[in-house]
Structure 1
Amino acid sequence: MMKQFLEAGAHFGHRTRKWNPKMAPYIHSERNGIHIIDLRQTVRKLQEACALVYKTTQSGKDIMFVGTKKQSRDVIREKAIAVDSPFVCERWLGGMLTNHETIRQSIKKLINIEEMEEDGTINLRPKKEVLKLRKLRERLKRNLEGIQNMKNLPNLLVVVDVGKESIAVAEARILGIPVIGIVDTNCDPSKTDICIPSNDDAIKASGLILEAIGEAVRRGKAIYAQKVAEEQARIEEERALKKKEQEQRKKLQEEKAYAAEIARKDRETEKKAQQEKLKQENLKKEQKESANDEKKSAKVTSAKEEAPVASEKKETVSADKPVEQKKTNTEEAEKE
């Protein structure tokens, strides 16, 4: 790594008359009026920065890359896009962190204009307004391209040239956001949480540092993605288990309900059978009583029919008695 930094020119600082005394611990020597940066310190600080980046990203937090210098714009955009992280490489808008809600309003404007372009509704407006909206879109796109999809404030800032990006560093410090800075010999390292001493004008040197940080971001996000996948798998497993338990509970309830229904039907069947039996018994009893009534009725009828016959016989007997009496009297008279 040190050899690569040496080949990239990371060890060249600014002229000695422009140096910042706070950078003294990171300066190796002076040569031809130029400070030479201690690359051992660069490697050590880069390792610390990568460790912090890895720790931050593996917990699912975001990192923002900032570098608006002409030399670093392309490398910032390339490395940030490669690891799907927010970035600012054109112009740092004041309040981008401390007044994030206002910036979100500008992002919403950009999104609305892009949606109008996609569905063609922008063409329904007057030409002058269309030109104005497209111009606004280009300006917003240029300044907000890297943070268009950023939903929350970043948890860590990686800055190329903390001197030029002093506003971004100041806003981060106000909000308590840690700052990793690529710091040249003319800058103040105390404004950063981790200072990586390096030539901030050397594109290759900045590229090497950002590549190492990007790799740490990639590894951290991979770990976080793995954790999320494992957590999702655990949740799915719990859901499946819970669903299985619910199905078993439902099946058991259905079985109980089915058994209760069968028992109810059996009780109803038994009750119907008892009712039918009782009905049959009542019917037999009624039939028996009816038969007895019929017998009694027949006897009564028979008795009623026999009574007139006996009466007639009695009358006949009564009628015959006077004749006989008369005959007897006649015979007695003749005898006298």
Structure 2
Amino acid sequence: MKRPNLQKMLAVGVHFGHRARKWNPKMKPYIYAKKNGVHIFDLIATKKCLQDAQKFLSDLAKKGGKVLFLGTKKQAREAVKKWAEKVGAFYLTERWLGGLLTNFNEVEKAVARLRELKEIKSSAQWEELSTRKQHMINREIHKKEKLLGGILGMQEKPQALIVVDPRKEKMAVKEAVEAGIPVVALIDTNGNPELISYPIPGNDDASRSIDLILSLLASALGDVEEETSRPVSKPKPPAEIAGSSLPGRVKNALIKAGYTKLSEVQKVSDEELLAIKGLGKKAVEEIRKQLTG
């Protein structure tokens, strides 16, 4: 099991919360300070919460319990799919399926239909179907696989839910509470930790922060390789972005996303910048102007 490392958490911006005016007072025990109008998490508290969640997940895995990873926001989809697949867990990245935890039989019907279609495509019967029928089946498979592919082998409700941003996934959290299923969640300063069994206070908007937290949780469920293709650099002071002539809202959005130096942003594509909460086309243009100025 991988141990939480404070330096790595700092490097990817786990400590950046939302703007102070958007906070939920119930997150106060996990907040260290306020800087430039943005709340800063107490990473000592985050580390302790991570360790508690890891122990819970490790004990569950030893008993053969199944876990469902959930993250439908753009910044979370890739990491959710990657780490769930690495440990053989189920996952959802497109949208929450209403009733998955409280009316599982109905969801199972949709999953069974997808299995049936895939079996038809791999059987001798496939060649006997008309081109039009094959096209219709392929289209239905594509549509259902995008939505249900991560839970194709699920035959019963999971014993735990791992969530990125419980505010966005509030319907899933509500169902889990009703069904008595524990929830482990990466939760930002605007969330409500009282609804979460194992809250992990941290930045739930930056893809690098999400990836690190999910890697630590996944390591409690099974063996995962330490990624070496993208070494984590030492934390750098936010002088460049904070001291630049960019508008305050743009600075805050970049810092919240885990960027502290303009040189880091230079390597990021426009598409990735647009995926950052609070940045639009005009903001990206301002950033590019600052970089080339």
Range class of TM-score, shorter chain: 0.7 to 0.9
1:81 equivalent to 2:81? Answer no
Specify the code of the residue in structure 1 equivalent to 2:24: N
* C-alpha deviation, 1:93, in angstroms: 1.4
- Any idea what SS the aligned residue of 2:122 has? helix
The AA in structure 2 aligned to 1:131 is H
Shift of 1:122: 3.5
1:10 aligns with 2:9: no
What pairs up with 1:249-264 in 2 under 5 angstroms? none
What is residue 41 of structure 2 aligned with on the other side? 37
Whichever structure has more helix as a proportion of its residues is 1
| 1:114 match | 118
Work out the CA distance in 2 between the residues paired with 1:72 and 1:154.
20
Query: In structure 1, what is the equivalent of residue 102 of structure 2?
Result: 98
Equivalent residue, structure 2, for 1:51: 55
Q: Partners of 2:92 and 2:156 in 1: how far apart?
A: 15
Displacement after TM superposition at 1:126 (Å): 4.2
Equivalent residue, structure 2, for 1:251: none
**Equivalent position of 2:136 in the other structure:** 132
Number of the residue aligned with 2:283: none
Residue 65 of structure 1 pairs with residue 64 of structure 2: no
The one-character-per-residue Cα deviations of 1:63-102 (angstroms, maximum 9, x if unpaired) are 1111111111111111010000111112111112212111
Cα distance in 2 for partners of 1:89, 1:75 equals 10
Query: In 1, Cα distance between the equivalents of 2:65 and 2:37?
Result: 43
| TM-score, scaled relative to structure 2 | 0.72
Amino acid across the alignment from 1:19: W
Letter paired with 1:83: V
* Deviation of 1:30 (Å): 0.6
The structure 2 residue matched to 1:200, chosen from 191, 204, 217, is 204
Among 158, 164, 168, which residue is 2:162 paired with? 158
Provide the secondary structure at the position in 2 that maps to 1:217.
coil
Over the matched positions of the two proteins, sequence identity in percent amounts to 37
CA distance in 2, matches of 1:191, 1:121: 49
- Could you tell me how far apart the structure 2 residues matched to 1:145 and 1:161 are? 21
Q: Which of 167, 171, 174 is equivalent to 2:178? A: 174
Q: Counterpart amino acid of 2:186? A: I
- Report SS of the residue matched to 1:218: coil
Gaps of 5+ in 1: 220-336
* 1:46-75 Cα deviation digits (max 9, x unpaired): 000001001111111111111111111111
Q: State how far apart, in whole Å, the 1-side matches of 2:101 and 2:87 are.
A: 21
Which structure ranks higher in relative contact order (CA pairs < 8 Å, sequence separation ≥ 6)?
A: 2
Give me the whole-angstrom Cα distance separating, in 2, the residues matched to 1:138 and 1:93: 17
- Give, as a single letter, the amino acid of the residue that structure 1 aligns with 2:165: D
Q: Which has the larger radius of gyration?
A: 1
Q: Within 2, Cα distance between the matches of 1:160 and 1:173?
A: 16
Q: Please list every run of at least 4 consecutive aligned residues from structure 1 whose deviation after the TM superposition is greater than 4 angstroms.
A: none
Instruction: Verify: 1:188 aligned to 2:206, yes or no.
Output: no
What displacement does 1:137 show? 1.0
Return the TM-score normalized by structure 1: 0.63
**Distance in 1 between the 2:26 and 2:67 partners?**
26
| Cα deviation, residue 202, structure 1 | 1.6
1:123 deviation in Å? Answer: 4.3
**More divergent stretch after superposition (123-132 vs 103-112):** 123-132
Superimposed CA distance per residue, residues 162-200 of structure 1 (whole angstroms, 9 cap, x where no aligned partner):
011111111111100000110001111111011100000
Measure the CA separation in 2 of the matches of 1:31 and 1:126.
Answer: 64
The separation in 1 between residues aligned to 2:192 and 2:65, in whole angstroms, is 27
Distance of 2:64 and 2:134 partners within structure 1: 40
